[in-house]
Structure 1
Amino acid sequence: MSTYRYGRYVDGPDPLAPPVDLRAAVDELGREVMEGSSPESALRELLRRGLPGARGLDDLTARLWRKRAALTRRHRLDGTLQEVRRLLDEALTAERAALFPDPDDEARFREARLDALPRSTAAAVGELAEYDWRSPEARESYERIRDLLGRELVEQRFQGVKQAVENVGARDVERIRDMLADLNALLAAHARGEDTRESFDRFMREHGEFFPEDPRTVDELVDALAARSAAAQRMMNSMSEQQRRELAQLSQQAFGDSAVGAQLSQLDSLLRGLRPGEDWDGSARFRGDNPLGLGEGARAMADLAEMDELAEQLAQSYPGARLEDVDADALARQLGAEAGVDARRLAELERELRSQNLLERAPDGSLRLTPKALRQLGETALRGVVDGVRAQGQRDSPSAGAAGELIGSTRPWRFGDTEPWHVPRTITNAVLRSAGGPLALDVADVEVSETEQRSRAAVALCVDTSWSMVQDGRWVPMKRTALALHHLVRTRFRTDALELITFGRHAETVDIGELTALEGVWEQGTNLHHALLLAGRHVRRHPDAQPVVLVVTDGEPTAHLEPTGEAEFHYPPLERTLGKTLVEVDGLARLGASITVFRLGDDPRLTAFVDTLARRSGGRVVAPDEDGLGAAVVSDYLRSRKRR
């Protein structure tokens, strides 16, 4: 029998992972925007924090910095020098052990020569280049120094070569020397601008084993080599001056062939000329206890450079930055596969917000929420308001309305329905049920047209935008209330005319997008007089509609509009301000509008004024808390429709 094993999917993003939650993202964006952030900064904040199921940019960046700090705290860069010193001491100890029993003067001369070796490791290795070792063990240790230097120097510039030449012989050294000579000739021709396509193909056929990156062009080869060579140079820059001198001298002993060191120096010079944009002058401070060899140190420097570049990509601080710029594969190399998946999900979120027409560029280049996004925010706000209305004991009606105006939808007939039949749907149901047989109507086939008893309304929602609304935490509830009412009118009562009016020192009419993105500013003045003037203008434009005026405020009127168009502010309020405001209340009452005031706060002067306003207009005062404001406004609007 076949057996199956199930485990975590590791080959990239999980194909069964749920798609990004755009609705939750839009809700988060809307909350930030309503609190005063621009859509641009709200999107950046959302991407920094992330969403459930996807860590944000801040978390990924913090993990990168922690790994970078751990790398520099754990290691130091003198591993190759230490290993060379160890092998040299091992060779000298074995040689002295071989010379000690010999009474010959030549043995004493050799001992004196060993005793006179320079203290510098590199100088001592250089002086022993022509020494005729008597001890086979000593000779082997010295040869291991040469092989180690060769492998480390080559691995600094060529990824994965150290393993390929672990047990190096004369043939391997010749192969490396030929590869370096051919490579330098190829890059020199490329630097001169010659056509090197055939030369490159021939080079890769002969020496492709040294390049696991499998470059397809000379430029790809140069890119890979230059990044590695620059990392090797940054490693040298991070060492002390003495360590650099030692390594420069030791490089001449690589594989016991000074030509290899010379070829590597020529290669570095060519790469620096071909890719001057690489970081050749950088450095890092390593202060740990774990020594790294030249190859390991170059990899560490390359990792540091990759982490720095990833941190810049995650910061998104450069012009035109997009999350698609983040190298998810590099992030997965540094932080694991899950980090790459998180980066891809965030990029997908940003891409979908734009492609799904939820964010768009304004003519001035700024980012803004689209009408589609505002509808989603309104739907969310209305859903929250409806929950609040239900909590107060009200319920949705199971019927869309009594016999009246058609709203375009149908439903199956139920006993007691008085709506007209929808004949096309009823006949279609009968035909489908009969399946080609004799046509006969059944009660189950009947569908009725949904209707609604509608009387058109001209609704003016006047919202206070003075600084106290921001200061006392009423800014976002006010915006959420406006979104909910706007969405309700636009989707459920489309024949009603809704006007949104904001009033601080002055009043103005705004669309829902402007109100949603409105930022709180320090401005003294509550010009209800001007707001009611605009409400009266809206009501007069719709003489056939029932006027409905809703006012949300947390302060008594402290400003009024002068005939010149200037606003006069005074606190405590002037009698002229209160009088001009009540004149507009009386004018709206003559038009048949009763004003409902939603009083926020318990200021006694405000309470006294709105009570007077309600009595003169035949309206009423509602005093909800901030969380209940939306439910109170929507309930009053629906109550006014039922009354009509």
Structure 2
Amino acid sequence: MAYRYGEFHEGPDPLAPPYDVRGALDEMGDAILSGSTPLDALRDLLRRGLPGAADRRGLEDLLRQVRRRRRELRDNTRLDGTLERARALLDKAIGQERAELFPDPSDDARFREASLDALPSDTARAVQELGEYDWRSAAARQTFEELRDLLRREVLDSQFRGMRDALANPDPAAMERVRQMMSDLNDMLDRDSRGEHTQDDFDQFMQKYRDMFPENPRNLEELVDILARRAAATQRLLASLTPGQREELSGLIDQALQQAGLAEQMRRLGNALYSRRPDLAWNTPERVSGDEPLGMGDAVTALQDLADLSDLETALRQDYPGARLDDIDEDAIRRALGRSAVDDLDALRQVERELEAQGYLRRHRGKLELTPKAVRRLGETALRRVFSSLESGRRGDHDQHDAGKAGELTGSSRPWRFGDEQPIDVVRTIVNGVRRAPSPSGRVALTVDDFEVAETERRTAAAVCLLVDLSYSMALRGTWAAAKQTALALQALVASKFPQDAVQIIGFSNYARVLQPDELAGLEWDMVQGTNLHHALLIAGRHLDRHPDFEPVVLVVTDGEPTAHLTRSGVPRFEWPPSAETLELTLAEVDKMTRRRATLNVFMLAADERLKDFVNEVARRNGGRVFSASADRLGEYVVSDFLRARRSR
């Protein structure tokens, strides 16, 4: 057998690696960590496309191509082609008749010439008057019949796509079949309106007239949609012509339908389609400016394509409430842009589905949210960014090499003691049993004295409090995204490297609250007045008190001095400039932290003189350090200080 190899054209490359949804989440994370919501971040990713081996286009590229296709279609379309051709055939028939009459000196010839001279300038009325005219010229009669055939074919093609080719050769039997199809179609629509229609009725109809519907609809609903869109495009064609052109073409259409015996059936069908799909733009004119005149059927097809492209453009913009990629019509994409665009759309849909299927995104009450799994991934990403800017060296091991309970294995073991939590060293335990009481049968009987445990490095546990300013000024100064990324990075660091630590992240504005890990990524600033560090320190103190044996680590990220405190009634009180009571209560909590042996380090994100004075007083009372960090290095400063503090402990 002979084989031929070539480029694959029938869809996506089957050998291309699947798109890594974790990479998609990381790209979304760039926007989320900068302050975007998960929904906005996903939309940005889908608009940009999917980089990588497949290099899939995004919605912006598809939208750009749709708009270019619309411009091309509008710039290359003229809608009066049928009217122009009808005028040309009419003039040709009249000229042929005049040529036949000119040599004849009879009064009848002069009378006929006078009748031709008196024809109205309106093409439709002229054709109507010539309908009863007894042509002398056989060529003129044939040309006039050609004109009538043209109008009949174009009018039917404007309603039923492909009908023009089916009626290329005039055949009374073919026209009778068209009339029967129209009658059966209207009867089926009437039965459906009464609730009597069945799928079997539609299948029988299609079996009989399938060749007249190249779109091959599967049910009556699809057929109605196809016909209604084409009927609406026909009405838009008429609305797009000048009033004079519209009147002429409407007259020609009416004459063609009357001559074919289809006027009443077409009226019934038009009314039924309009009642079922009034949402279509039935009489909206379309601005076109092409030089190539199109026949009526082709012009209707062009306007139908323009309407489909307009709908497709709306769906691709995805800027309406509840927008989903499933709203984009795959068939419309294929017709407009080809198979490769369908593959690109499928890849985008797959990413959206996989992000939900693999547990990174969830929809709750119509809102897109990140799952805890996604938050952990974003925290790891933020942590990698922080560590990429740190100097190489030992970071975060903070080991004590005597036997411990939570560190890495040291390779040595010791006899088991009551209360030990280290893992059992199975090999050495069994060896001890064999050495103590060898058994010819090979069975080993173990006693308590045989057991040994594997030693691990001792690691201290810390109670970590990160206090993050959520006040509106953080957003105004552009430091909010850095603070959120820092919180995620610290949360990821503690969860991955120091799982024995107890971390609590506290956000504060006019009041303070504990922030859960899964809400950090979607967290937004509070559009309120007040920097209630007093309340935040109160909550942090309770966290430290719940872990008295842990090493206390307290970090504060803020861009302003305290301007609010919590009153005895539990209501926050804001004052600007800060009242003496606010400062006294806040510093009292700082003193309590000092008595807990908790070093309080403050990271300033502003150079305000009042803030400098306050944090210097905090450092004097507590012995902690003050960092004046830029927003782009905040994560590096916080993580480095956390690791330094734990190593020193």
Q: One fold, TM greater than 0.5?
A: yes
Query: How many Å separate the matches in 1 of 2:427 and 2:629?
Result: 46
Query: How many Å separate the matches in 2 of 1:154 and 1:61?
Result: 33
When residues 235 and 575 of structure 1 are mapped into structure 2, their CA distance, relative to the original with a 3 A threshold, is same
Alignment of 1:598 with 2:588, yes or no, is no
- The one-character-per-residue Cα deviations of 1:344-372 (angstroms, maximum 9, x if unpaired) are 2332222222222222244x653321111
Alignment of 1:499 with 2:499, yes or no, is no
2:491 paired residue number: 486
Aligned to 1:494, what secondary structure does the other structure show?
coil
- Identify which of 545, 549, 558 aligns with 1:553: 558
Alignment of 1:4 with 2:12, yes or no, is no
- The alignment's TM-score, normalised by the length of structure 1, stands at 0.84
- Identify which of 625, 630, 633 aligns with 1:625: 630
Gaps of 5+ in 2: 415-422, 430-452
1:19 paired residue number: 18
Moved more, 89-98 or 313-322: 313-322
When residues 79 and 544 of structure 1 are mapped into structure 2, their CA distance, relative to the original with a 3 A threshold, is same
Aligned to 2:342, what secondary structure does the other structure show?
helix
Aligned to 1:130, what secondary structure does the other structure show?
coil
Does the 8 Å CA contact 1:238/1:284 hold for their aligned counterparts?
yes
When residues 450 and 552 of structure 1 are mapped into structure 2, their CA distance, relative to the original with a 3 A threshold, is farther
2:102 paired residue number: 100
Does the 8 Å CA contact 1:76/1:289 hold for their aligned counterparts?
yes
- The one-character-per-residue Cα deviations of 1:540-591 (angstroms, maximum 9, x if unpaired) are 1111111111122233334444444444545554555444333322222221
Deviation at 1:101, TM superposition (A): 3.0
Aligned to 2:552, what secondary structure does the other structure show?
strand
Deviation at 1:324, TM superposition (A): 1.4
When residues 366 and 194 of structure 1 are mapped into structure 2, their CA distance, relative to the original with a 3 A threshold, is closer
Does the 8 Å CA contact 2:375/2:520 hold for their aligned counterparts?
no
Deviation at 1:84, TM superposition (A): 0.2
When residues 643 and 224 of structure 1 are mapped into structure 2, their CA distance, relative to the original with a 3 A threshold, is same
Query: How many Å separate the matches in 2 of 1:95 and 1:110?
Result: 9
- The alignment's TM-score, normalised by the length of structure 2, stands at 0.84
- Identify which of 495, 510, 530 aligns with 2:535: 530
Alignment of 1:457 with 2:478, yes or no, is no
Query: How many Å separate the matches in 2 of 1:574 and 1:270?
Result: 75
When residues 190 and 603 of structure 1 are mapped into structure 2, their CA distance, relative to the original with a 3 A threshold, is closer
When residues 67 and 426 of structure 1 are mapped into structure 2, their CA distance, relative to the original with a 3 A threshold, is farther
Any residues of structure 2 matched to 1:384-423 within 5 Å, and which? 384-389=385-390, 392-395=391-394, 402=401, 404-405=403-404
Aligned to 1:501, what secondary structure does the other structure show?
strand
1:335 paired residue number: 337
1:438 paired residue number: none
2:149 paired residue number: 147
Any residues of structure 2 matched to 1:101-180 within 5 Å, and which? 101-180=103-182
Aligned to 1:2, what secondary structure does the other structure show?
coil
Query: How many Å separate the matches in 2 of 1:450 and 1:628?
Result: 39
When residues 385 and 425 of structure 1 are mapped into structure 2, their CA distance, relative to the original with a 3 A threshold, is farther
Q: How many residues align?
A: 617
Does the 8 Å CA contact 1:547/1:593 hold for their aligned counterparts?
yes
Amino acid at match of 2:373: K
- The one-character-per-residue Cα deviations of 1:392-428 (angstroms, maximum 9, x if unpaired) are 2434689998464466988xxxxx965899856999x
Amino acid at match of 1:120: D
Deviation at 1:188, TM superposition (A): 4.5
- The one-character-per-residue Cα deviations of 1:502-539 (angstroms, maximum 9, x if unpaired) are 23333332223344333224444433333222222211
Does the 8 Å CA contact 1:147/1:255 hold for their aligned counterparts?
no
Does the 8 Å CA contact 1:118/1:124 hold for their aligned counterparts?
yes
2:442 paired residue number: none
1:443 paired residue number: none
Aligned to 2:468, what secondary structure does the other structure show?
strand
- Identify which of 296, 299, 311 aligns with 1:297: 299
Does the 8 Å CA contact 1:72/1:286 hold for their aligned counterparts?
yes
When residues 297 and 614 of structure 1 are mapped into structure 2, their CA distance, relative to the original with a 3 A threshold, is same
Query: How many Å separate the matches in 1 of 2:44 and 2:320?
Result: 16
- The one-character-per-residue Cα deviations of 1:282-322 (angstroms, maximum 9, x if unpaired) are 44343443322211122123223322332343344666442
Aligned to 1:290, what secondary structure does the other structure show?
coil
| Aligned residues: CA RMSD | 3.5
Aligned to 1:555, what secondary structure does the other structure show?
coil
Query: How many Å separate the matches in 1 of 2:549 and 2:145?
Result: 104
Any residues of structure 2 matched to 1:344-359 within 5 Å, and which? 344-359=346-361
Aligned to 2:538, what secondary structure does the other structure show?
helix
Query: How many Å separate the matches in 2 of 1:14 and 1:587?
Result: 65
Does the 8 Å CA contact 1:400/1:451 hold for their aligned counterparts?
no
Query: How many Å separate the matches in 1 of 2:159 and 2:399?
Result: 76
Query: How many Å separate the matches in 2 of 1:618 and 1:452?
Result: 30
Amino acid at match of 2:605: L
Deviation at 1:639, TM superposition (A): 1.8
Amino acid at match of 1:25: A
1:473 paired residue number: 478
Does the 8 Å CA contact 2:405/2:459 hold for their aligned counterparts?
no
- The one-character-per-residue Cα deviations of 1:420-463 (angstroms, maximum 9, x if unpaired) are 99856999xxxxxxxxxxxxxxxxxxxx9794421111111112
- Identify which of 522, 543, 549 aligns with 1:544: 549
Aligned to 2:131, what secondary structure does the other structure show?
helix
Aligned to 2:500, what secondary structure does the other structure show?
coil
1:636 paired residue number: 641
Gaps of 5+ in 1: 411-415, 428-447
- Identify which of 586, 591, 604 aligns with 2:591: 586
Does the 8 Å CA contact 1:407/1:450 hold for their aligned counterparts?
no
Does the 8 Å CA contact 1:251/1:261 hold for their aligned counterparts?
no
Query: How many Å separate the matches in 1 of 2:277 and 2:493?
Result: 61
Query: How many Å separate the matches in 1 of 2:545 and 2:198?
Result: 81
Query: How many Å separate the matches in 2 of 1:122 and 1:482?
Result: 77
Moved more, 119-128 or 565-574: 565-574
Any residues of structure 2 matched to 1:503-522 within 5 Å, and which? 503-522=508-527
Does the 8 Å CA contact 1:406/1:449 hold for their aligned counterparts?
no
- The one-character-per-residue Cα deviations of 1:571-615 (angstroms, maximum 9, x if unpaired) are 554555444333322222221212222233444444444344334
Deviation at 1:373, TM superposition (A): 1.0
Does the 8 Å CA contact 1:409/1:449 hold for their aligned counterparts?
no
Query: How many Å separate the matches in 1 of 2:428 and 2:324?
Result: 53
Deviation at 1:199, TM superposition (A): 5.8
When residues 153 and 586 of structure 1 are mapped into structure 2, their CA distance, relative to the original with a 3 A threshold, is same
